[in-house]
Amino acid sequence: MQRAMAERGPLCVGIDPHPGLLDAWGLPRTAQGLETFSLRVVEAAAGRAAALKPQVALFEALGSAGIAVLERVLAESTAAGVLSIADAKRGDIGSTMAAYATAWLSDDSPLAADAVTLSPYLGFESLRPALDLARATGRGTFVLALTSNPEGASVQHVGGEDSVAAGILSAVAHENRAPGARGPAASSSAQASGQGPARHTDDRDQIVTSAGTGGLGSCGVVIGATVGEAMGRLGIDLRELNGPVLAPGYGAQGADAAAVASVFSQVRGTVLANSSRDVLAHGPDVRALGEAVTRSAEELAEHLQRV
């Protein structure tokens, strides 16, 4: 992921086929419409964005036909050389969590993505099956920590400077410091065996980030790009995180690249900013979509990768 961000800019493009967007693109609200929409985004992002993030719920809404489309989208993302983050927000306990981990992170699963989003609000350790499997297969996880939706504050902000969000961030930092948490061994193994999405394991994986680390751990966090005020009020410090930050909220949700750089000034080089509506509004033309991806990626690189 660090190599993809360095080469193409720190942009993740959301694949969010909302019914209204399907209408705007002149596509039917069917599995075929969903597939046409999604594969055009994959084509537009190939070679231009570091990652794609399909919103799993919008595929699940069409049942098995929608899930079949999602399987193809993930496979096509891998074929196009674009990292995939399944925005599934899974979180459960015991064998159920293990099953979720297998679905999204196992080498032999048709839904295997490069990373998956997780909800830790049954306790961070409830995520253990996914954390361990991601590390073993050379994939990643993004744990919800500090989200921008107003309802999130009623849980995440509780405790002030000892907030729930701060506890999640501390747990992620500890996870990335644990023995075996970093380094290319698992990725090299997966790549050598020909299993799973292609892994980048050359020496550029050891890019030194603005957090001062030599390679990020496999456990990242989701922090909204519009929560700067809350981060300050809660005394959130990201410098020990040693993992990537997935930052929704760039673009149509109100945060421009300068704002993203300001909110994440402690760890700018580890931030992958997500844009969905701001890019997707340029469809259905693939060329126009690609141009929008390039503009956003370049703008983010200018602000987040500034030395």
Backbone angles phi, psi at 165, to 5 degrees: -60, -40
Distance CA(63)–CA(281), nearest Å, equals 26
Q: Find the catalytic residue in 3, 29, 72, 89.
A: 89
Distance CA(154)–CA(260), nearest Å, equals 24
Q: Which two tokens stand for residue 269?
A: 């080089």
Q: Look up 89 and say whether it is catalytic.
A: yes
Active site residues: 89
